Structure 1
Amino acid sequence: MAGTLSIHFTPADFLHVRFARSPDPMWEAILGLHVLTTPADRLPARLRLWRGRARTRVRRPDVRGALRLLHDLAPSDATYWPDFLTPAESEEGLTAGLRVLRETSRARLEREVREASRHRPLPAWTRRLAAGDPTLLDAVADAVGHVHGSLLTPDWSEVEAVGAADRARRMEALEGGLGAVLASFKPFVWREPVLSAPYPVDRTIRLRGRGLRLVPSFFCHTRPVAIADPRLPPVVVYPLHAGDPPAPPHGARQEAALARLLGTNRARVLAALATTRTTGDVAARLALPASSVSGHLTVLRNAGLVTSDRAGMHVTHRLTPRGWHLLGRRRG
């Protein structure tokens, strides 16, 4: 039976609401897996296009093995899956998230795997994971990285561009105050002081001054997903705006042409700047050495595709109009 997610704000929580700059790579890996196992007629057009492309990539035995392992822990029809699969640190990029996943404590593994077993039968291998088997924990982290690298990375520029457009809409709504921003999220309904949305079960989150981190998701297509453990910082992943345009029909072909023009990694750096980032941000997100990213940025800047500005101790980089044009996307 369908329920409702109810998030209760206090005045102090309004000081600590955070909007993620872009989709989170580890949440997207799990939710992308869910899209693959969802019937196409239940998906929006842009995800049907992605699903069609991605299904051709899952034929490799190593990819299929990663999908099976993650499906055991986080199937698409689950009302709960372990929170350790989506650590908060992944907001700094896939590399940071995978590092924290590999460091998950035995106590947390045991607690969250046991909770998952309350909702559905689990395969025998998860008992070894719950006991803290480091080889299995590494295998889980490798599987997340494999799914992201094999299935999501080829389309990551599209994911980030749609996320950047969503963020721009939220910032426009901010002119009407934070309440107007909260009211702009679909499928949420804002009736102060409660933000609510359809959910698989009835669930109440009382923020109690801790604030809330809201993360857009390209692959979350029906209803939001929240961190389950009330002891963790509150995080809610929400579907990107229903009005987002579908993916360009020749997006994959265009990205391949861009890679041939610039080189694969330089094209990836260009695509990563659909959202303004520092050199470290880009390096972490793409799992590339910072020195290599810095060199690519210099070439892109000299070509007039990227502009860089110092903000305190950091230098931020963003696309120029020429860069947006070459990427084949309108500015968010």
Structure 2
Amino acid sequence: MLRIHFTPADLTRIRLATRPDPLWEIVFSLHRLQTSQGRWAYADWYRATQDTLANTTLGKAVRRLLVPVVPRAAYFPDFLTPYEAAEGLGVGLAAMVDTPSARVAAEVRRLQETTGGPLWARSLVESRAREELGKALRAYHDAVIAPFQDDVFARIAAERAVRARVTVDTGVDGLLGGLAPGIRWRPPVLEIDYVEDRDLHLDGRGLRLIPSYFCWRTPVALADNTPRAVLTYPLRDTRAPAPEHPSGVSLGALLGKTRAAALRTLAHGATTTELAQYLGVSPATATHHTTVLRNAGLITTRRSQNTVLHTLTPVGAALLRTGTPRSAA
């Protein structure tokens, strides 16, 4: 079990990631390639990735360079997921390259002691070797994660909307108590079902919460307790089936006054009841509108306890920015 100990100051310094962390998503997606557990939830991605990597130079690099240093095991090096990656892939890779050599050496040594990491990993103490690893990570991201980026961003945005609403309604207790199965909030300690037994004392540093698209079932924290603290956790619900391909009928139905108003309302997230009240229609009618918008790929729907929250997908946001629904209205 992992026990994260909060002080009163830490409770005021909880932050929820504003977008997917590209390096954590790379790590967890590599884990998805190493196990069949949860593969059904990523079936489309897995099939596409297998096709992309099969008999290619990138596929060989993934097997030779990436998987050995990111094993699906109790440990992989922290320097592969630097705090700075929250600002984007380029910034994260630069921070990885700039990691002090002494820290890299210690983490590589721990990798070899705990999981039998490759001997060549010792060369990562040299910045040039980390630059080459960074190139492989970027190529992997561009080839197998970027094509699914819209879905990743949409689901993380929906998670943020749900957590923001929970925090407003129930405070920090509700936020920490409802993150994911296997996480329990027993103030002032957050208990997490984990691969090892240890304690993490925040001591005023606060905690960054990072929801992850490719994380499956088990939350993950940095192995070293001394850097800025983060906790990555899986999205609470299972992957929803992809929306039906937008048909002429669904897109045509969108171009109406009420549905355009619904789309604008959902730009900031709303429940079915709130949407019905705003539009002045019955909940059943609001549900019909959200179904059409969802089938057109313009919104996503998340359930949190007894609440159903609707938010825009990147496609819906882009359509809203063009002014098409407003013109139709």
Does residue 215 of structure 2 align to residue 217 of structure 1? no
Structure-2 change in CA distance of 1:209 and 1:322 (3 Å):
closer
Structure showing greater radius of gyration is: 2
**Counterpart for residue 225 of structure 2:** 230
Does residue 96 of structure 2 align to residue 101 of structure 1? yes
Pick from 30, 34, 37 the counterpart of residue 37 of structure 1.
34
**Over aligned residues, Cα RMSD in angstroms?**
2.5
**Counterpart for residue 145 of structure 1:** 138
Does residue 63 of structure 2 align to residue 70 of structure 1? no
Is the CA contact (8 Å cut-off) linking 2:75 and 2:115 kept in structure 1?
Answer: no
**TM-score, normalised via structure 2 length:** 0.72
Is the CA contact (8 Å cut-off) linking 1:190 and 1:196 kept in structure 2?
Answer: yes
**Counterpart for residue 291 of structure 1:** none
- Count of residues in correspondence between the two structures: 256
The DSSP-based 3-state class of the residue aligned with 2:193 is: strand
Deviation at 1:135, TM superposition (A): 2.9
Q: Which runs of 5+ in 2 are unaligned?
A: 247-266, 269-297, 299-312, 323-329
Deviation at 1:319, TM superposition (A): 6.6
Is the CA contact (8 Å cut-off) linking 2:98 and 2:127 kept in structure 1?
Answer: no
Q: Which runs of 5+ in 1 are unaligned?
A: 252-273, 276-304, 306-317, 328-332
State the AA in 2 paired with 1:167: R
State the AA in 2 paired with 1:162: R
Is the CA contact (8 Å cut-off) linking 2:209 and 2:230 kept in structure 1?
Answer: yes
Highest RCO, 1 vs 2 (Cα 8 Å, sep ≥ 6): 1
Pick from 199, 202, 224 the counterpart of residue 207 of structure 1.
202
Is the CA contact (8 Å cut-off) linking 1:213 and 1:235 kept in structure 2?
Answer: yes
CA distance in 2, matches of 1:53, 1:183: 36
**TM-score, normalised via structure 1 length:** 0.72
State the AA in 1 paired with 2:67: H
Pick from 162, 166, 173 the counterpart of residue 169 of structure 1.
162
Deviation at 1:325, TM superposition (A): 7.1
The DSSP-based 3-state class of the residue aligned with 2:42 is: helix
Deviation at 1:133, TM superposition (A): 2.5
Deviation at 1:191, TM superposition (A): 1.3
State the AA in 2 paired with 1:185: L
State the AA in 1 paired with 2:3: S
Is the CA contact (8 Å cut-off) linking 1:21 and 1:167 kept in structure 2?
Answer: yes
Is the CA contact (8 Å cut-off) linking 1:210 and 1:234 kept in structure 2?
Answer: yes
CA distance in 2, matches of 1:319, 1:242: 20
Deviation at 1:112, TM superposition (A): 0.9
Query: Equivalent pairs: percent with the same residue?
Result: 38
Runs of 4+ with deviation above 6 angstroms? none
**Counterpart for residue 120 of structure 2:** 125
User: 1:254-282, CA deviations, whole angstroms, 9 ceiling, x for partnerless residues?
Assistant: xxxxxxxxxxxxxxxxxxxx99xxxxxxx
